[in-house]
């Protein structure tokens, strides 16, 4: 396992897209230490900021408060990236495979436009989780993002496939312009969930305010949720589905598009 320990918090954001198994695994420790990172407008060496130890390979552990380190895990296709601390913006952006595990918080744009792999954030994430970058038609194309804590604005914006699970509270515009895929909101969300969604499924375990362009369709217990629940249980997420405990109210929308997405809101039995 390769370990990189942050020596001091950078004065301005540090862009370190080299911190990916694809780039690090084939290199020697000396070569790794000399890799370029960018402190604002200046190019520096990786070891100006990190102490690098261990065995280069597919398993990498970053240690320290990396909240100001951006682009970790960018476009990675395999391997395990573990962060014992916080991570900055664009973590796992365009990721295609492998695993990212954060024992801390993540910044905005987590897993933006990713197409495969698994990301698990034990703390909170920022906004635009699994989203499309500005102007782009499509966000996350596949993969799984699990966030134990809360998240910010525009979670899953324009996602096409894949799953995002957020255990804590989420802000406005979750599922904005969704094209497909699934978002699970463990503690609901603030405003405008599912705004302008085309397709896809948003599952909220708490009541949430809905836009006037969503219509109530039915109350039921969809069978696909059992499979989902089983999958998510491996991450410590509990997805209720048993009719002995409650049911889901199904709303369809967004009529503004008009879209055929659905929002399922859990209603526990009394």
Binding residues (CB under 8 A) for other proteins: these are 11-13, 15, 17, 36, 38, 40-43, 68, 71, 74, 89, 93-94, 108-109, 127-128, 133-137, 172-173, 176, 191-192, 195-196, 210-216, 254-258
**Residue nearer to other proteins on the CB measure, 51 or 206:** 206
Residue 163 or 177 with smaller CB distance to other proteins: 177
Tokens of 150: 């809360």
Determine contact, residues 125/144, Cβ cutoff 8 Å.
Answer: no
3-state secondary structure at position 227: helix
SS3 14: strand
Given the complex with other proteins, which of 20 and 99 has the nearer CB atom? 20
Minimum CB distance to other proteins, residue 231 (Å): 31
Of 61 and 108, the one with the shorter C-beta distance to other proteins is 108
Q: Which is nearer to other proteins, 26 or 236 (CB)?
A: 26
Partner residues linked to 101 by β-bridges: 82, 120
The tokens for 41 are 């407008």
For the CA atoms of 79, 84, 86, 89, the dihedral, rounded to the nearest 10 degrees, stands at -10
Cβ atoms of residues 179 and 159 within 8 Å? yes
How far apart are CB 84 and other proteins at their closest, in Å? 23
Smallest separation, CB 88 to other proteins (Å)? 10
Rounded-to-integer distance, Cα 182 and Cα 159, Å: 9
> Please, what is the minimum distance in Å from the beta carbon of residue 7 to other proteins?
18
Least distance from C-beta 254 to other proteins, angstroms? Answer: 7
Stated length of the chain:
270
């Amino acid at each position: 396992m390769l370990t990189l320990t942050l020596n001091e918090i950078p004065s301005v954001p540090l862009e370190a897209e080299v911190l990916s198994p694809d780039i690090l695994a084939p290199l020697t420790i000396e070569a790794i230490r000399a890799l370029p990172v960018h402190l604002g407008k200046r190019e520096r060496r990786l070891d100006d900021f990190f102490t690098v130890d261990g065995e280069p390979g597919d398993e990498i552990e970053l240690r320290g408060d990396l909240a100001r380190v951006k682009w970790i895990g960018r476009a990675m296709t395999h391997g395990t990236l573990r962060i014992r601390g916080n991570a900055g913006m664009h973590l796992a952006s365009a990721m295609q495979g492998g695993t990212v595990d954060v024992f801390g918080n993540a910044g905005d744009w987590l897993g933006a436009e990713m197409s495969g792999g698994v990301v698990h954030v034990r703390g909170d994430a920022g906004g635009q989780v699994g989203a499309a970058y500005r102007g782009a038609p499509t966000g996350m194309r596949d993969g799984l993002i699990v966030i134990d804590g809360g998240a910010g604005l525009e979670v899953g914006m324009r996602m096409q496939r894949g799953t995002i699970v957020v255990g804590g509270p989420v802000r406005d515009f979750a599922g904005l312009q969704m094209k497909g895929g699934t978002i699970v909101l463990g503690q609901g969300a603030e405003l405008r969930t599912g705004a302008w969604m085309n397709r896809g499924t948003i599952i909220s375990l708490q009541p949430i305010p809905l836009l006037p362009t969503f219509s109530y369709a039915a109350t039921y217990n969809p069978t696909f949720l059992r499979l989902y629940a089983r999958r998510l249980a491996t991450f410590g997420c509990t997805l209720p589905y048993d009719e002995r405990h409650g049911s889901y109210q199904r709303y369809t929308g967004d009529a503004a598009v008009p879209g055929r997405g659905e929002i399922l809101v859990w209603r526990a039995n009394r």
